[in-house]
Every structure is written in C-alpha cells, then in structure tokens.
C-alpha cells in the first residue's frame, strides 16, 4: 500500500494492471495481444465462474463489426486493446454484454479497473471524433492519450472531473445523508463536484454547508479514487463538526443525520470510496489524531 493511503482499501479503479508506453505501436501486432470488447457502454465477457474479460482473437476476425480500435496499454509484454463494436454487431463466441458495475467482485480488481478504463477510453474517442472548437474531424494521436484537430490544431485530452467526499464526525457519530436518486434506505457521505476556481478544501466546506447547513473543522485529506462513471476523481476527506444543526434543502438531500457504528443505515457499495471511508471509520482506522 502506498504510504499516502491511510485506508486499507485498494483504489479499485486505479489501472495498475496496465502501463502506457508511448508512442503506441503503429498497428496492432499479430502476437501477444489481448482485447477488451466494448459494446455501447457495456463490456463483453465470456460467462463463467469467474467470467473471462479478455479475448485473445482480434474481434474483426471473429465476425464482429468493429467501429474503432484503441490501445489501452501494456500488460507485462502483452499489448491490450479495446475494440468498439458497431451497434448490432454480433459478439465473439459465447461472449455476453455486461455493465462494469455488475462485474464488481466477479472480476479481479485489476481486471475490473481495465474493463472500466476500456469503457472510459472508448467513450473519450467517441465524444472527441469532432473538434470542440471548429467541428472538423479529429484523429487520435499516438504519442499520448489525446485527440488532435488537423484543421485548428486543438488537442483534446480525456477530461477528469474532480469531486470531493467527506466523512464528518461528531463524537462517536458520523454524518450520513440521502440523495433522492439513491436506492431505498441508502445513505452516504456528503459529496459533490469541485467548481471552477475552487480548491478541494473550499469545495468540501461549500458542499457540507449547502447540503446539510453545518460548518466543519479539522479538515484532512485521506485518500482518492478514480471513479469511471464516467470520469470523476473522488478526493476523500475527514473533518469534524464545528457548528450548526443539520438542515436539508430537500432537493439534493432528502434526509440526513448523525449515525453511530451500531445503527448504520443501508450503505453504498463496497466498490466506492464513500464506503471505504465509512468502513475505515467503523474499524477505527480514522481517528481524531489524523
């Protein structure tokens, strides 16, 4: 575990299983290649226990209608590519389409992160086919992950949207809040996107004030997590309640309260940084002295 991680939590969507080496190969080699096949926002898997993510055969040779091929990185000495299928294309062999979230705990964390990364990169190429400034057709360049407009020279990089999430303590209790789009009963930590011109710390103070009407103190960074649905970087903090009573706006938040370890509500998936922070607090790993 990296020393900046104070959580016993692997960053699940950190793509540790691939290394990007640029310039990427000019064409797909004949050997030592594995494929991740993407259809829409789903990934194709070969069913099994566990399911199998990678395909060893070029899907174009497997009867698929391939729209685009993108280099994802090297997995050891094996090159990993994503193949985006055209809508309605058959899948190779017995493969089936599956949403990435549904593969949590079915694939290894390393494979899950690669699957999410493949969806993310295909989404990047899909949404940057045309220049955002002049509207001309772009091309993906091979020396870094970017789309280049040959008409106006604009380079577009994959967008990452920073977001904050904060575990607010009050004595032996933590603040949990419920958003209207959560599954029934589920509560989570206060979270939100960072606004332009704002620091992470300012975003935490603002979101807590906006969503539950209180002020916080002793704000401290804990851990981060790439969250690929579709492109956030979650930055996790811990803080203590300073002043004010919980008041909610009933718009972004429909209920909020202080919960002790023995009376926690339905919590988010273990896939999330929110849950990792809550679990670390429950386990006594997040103490007041740090």
Q: Is the dihedral of CA 266, 270, 271, 276 positive or negative?
A: positive
Closest separation in Å from C-beta 149 to Zn ion:
3
Give the C-alpha distances (Å, rounded to integers) separating 280 from 139, 165, 216, 273: 44, 14, 20, 10
- 152 is a site residue for Zn ion (CB under 5 A): yes
- 151 is a site residue for Zn ion (CB under 5 A): yes
C-alpha 165/C-alpha 235 separation (Å) is 6
Among 94, 108, 130, 134, binds Zn ion (CB under 5 A): 134
Closest separation in Å from C-beta 159 to Zn ion:
17
In sequence order, which residues have a C-beta less than 8 Å from that of residue 127 and are 6 or more positions away? none
Q: Which stretch binds Zn ion (CB under 5 A): 39-47, 112-120, 123-131, 182-190?
A: 123-131
C-alpha 197/C-alpha 138 separation (Å) is 29
C-alpha 280/C-alpha 258 separation (Å) is 17
Q: Which stretch binds Zn ion (CB under 5 A): 61-69, 133-141, 264-272, 282-290?
A: 133-141
Residue with Cβ nearer Zn ion (126 or 206): 126
In sequence order, which residues have a C-beta less than 8 Å from that of residue 49 and are 6 or more positions away? none
- 141 is a site residue for Zn ion (CB under 5 A): no
Residue with Cβ nearer Zn ion (102 or 155): 155
Residue with Cβ nearer Zn ion (102 or 152): 152
- 149 is a site residue for Zn ion (CB under 5 A): yes
Which residues lie near Zn ion (CB under 5 A)?
A: 131, 133-134, 136, 149, 151-152, 154
């Amino acid at each position: 575990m990296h020393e900046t991680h104070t959580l016993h939590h692997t960053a699940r969507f950190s793509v540790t299983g691939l290394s990007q080496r640029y310039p990427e190969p000019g064409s797909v080699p004949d050997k030592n290649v594995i494929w991740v096949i993407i259809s829409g926002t789903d990934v194709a898997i070969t069913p099994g226990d566990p399911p199998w993510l990678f395909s060893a055969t070029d899907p174009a040779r497997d009867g698929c209608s391939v729209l685009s091929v993108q280099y994802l990185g090297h997995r050891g000495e094996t090159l990993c590519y994503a193949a985006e299928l055209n809508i309605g294309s058959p899948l190779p062999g017995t493969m089936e389409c599956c949403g990435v979230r549904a593969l949590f705990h079915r694939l290894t964390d390393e494979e899950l992160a690669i699957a999410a990364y493949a969806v993310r990169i295909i989404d990047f190429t899909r949404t940057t086919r045309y220049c955002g400034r002049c509207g001309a057709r772009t091309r993906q360049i091979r020396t870094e992950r970017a789309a280049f407009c040959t008409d106006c020279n604009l380079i577009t990089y994959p967008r990452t949207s920073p977001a904050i999430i904060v575990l607010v303590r009050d004595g032996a209790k933590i603040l949990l809040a419920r958003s209207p789009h959560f599954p029934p009963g589920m509560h989570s930590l206060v979270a939100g996107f960072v606004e332009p011109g704002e620091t992470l710390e300012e975003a935490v103070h603002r979101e807590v004030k906006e969503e539950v009407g209180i002020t916080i103190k002793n704000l401290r960074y804990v851990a981060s997590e790439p969250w690929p649905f579709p492109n956030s970087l979650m930055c996790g903090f811990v803080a203590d309640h300073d002043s004010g009573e919980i008041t909610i706006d009933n718009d972004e938040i429909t209920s909020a309260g202080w919960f002790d370890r023995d009376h926690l509500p339905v919590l988010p998936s273990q896939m999330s940084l929110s849950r990792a922070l809550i679990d670390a607090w429950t386990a006594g790993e997040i103490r007041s002295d740090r």
